């Protein structure tokens, strides 16, 4: 418990996300430059299979291709509550990147 609280107060830019492996890796990919146009061959991105996407306001987000969270929701970093995905071409991109069927299904629900 103490280590989790310490992580929340960390001056490191990943902060409490370091206590959640998938989100820590997504955060590493996001802050590692994926949303700044860095090549997708980045070690973090290759390790976790994620792609850069956008929301309807044009803000960059990173979506995890290999599954959903325990509640069946998409793992998208750094999505905010109430955000909407920019759906144009998203399902085709997910299929082209061989995303998990649950990811494709949930994205289809959100973009339907």
pLDDT in tens, 77-93: 999 999 999 999 999 99
User: What is the rounded average pLDDT of the residues 84-111?
Assistant: 96
- Tell me which DSSP letter residue 99 carries: -
User: What's this model's pTM, rounded to 2 decimal places?
Assistant: 0.75
The beta-carbon contacts of 73-78 under 8 Å, at least 24 apart in sequence, are 73/106, 74/103, 74/106, 74/107, 74/110, 75/22, 75/23, 75/26, 77/23, 77/26, 77/27, 77/29, 77/30, 78/27, 78/30
User: What is the rounded average pLDDT of the residues 55-76?
Assistant: 92
User: What is the rounded average pLDDT of the residues 11-34?
Assistant: 70
Distance CA(112)–CA(18), nearest Å, equals 33
């Amino acid at each position: 418990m103490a280590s989790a609280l310490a992580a929340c107060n960390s001056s490191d830019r990943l902060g409490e996300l370091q206590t959640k492996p998938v989100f820590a890796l997504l955060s590493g990919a996001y802050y590692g430059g994926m949303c700044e146009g860095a090549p997708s061959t980045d070690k973090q991105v290759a390790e976790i299979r994620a792609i850069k996407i956008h929301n309807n306001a044009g803000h960059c987000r990173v979506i995890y291709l290999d599954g959903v969270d325990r509640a069946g929701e998409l793992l998208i970093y750094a999505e905010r509550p109430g955000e909407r995905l920019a759906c144009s071409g998203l399902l085709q991109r997910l299929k082209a990147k061989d995303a998990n069927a649950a990811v494709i299904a949930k994205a289809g629900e959100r973009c339907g």
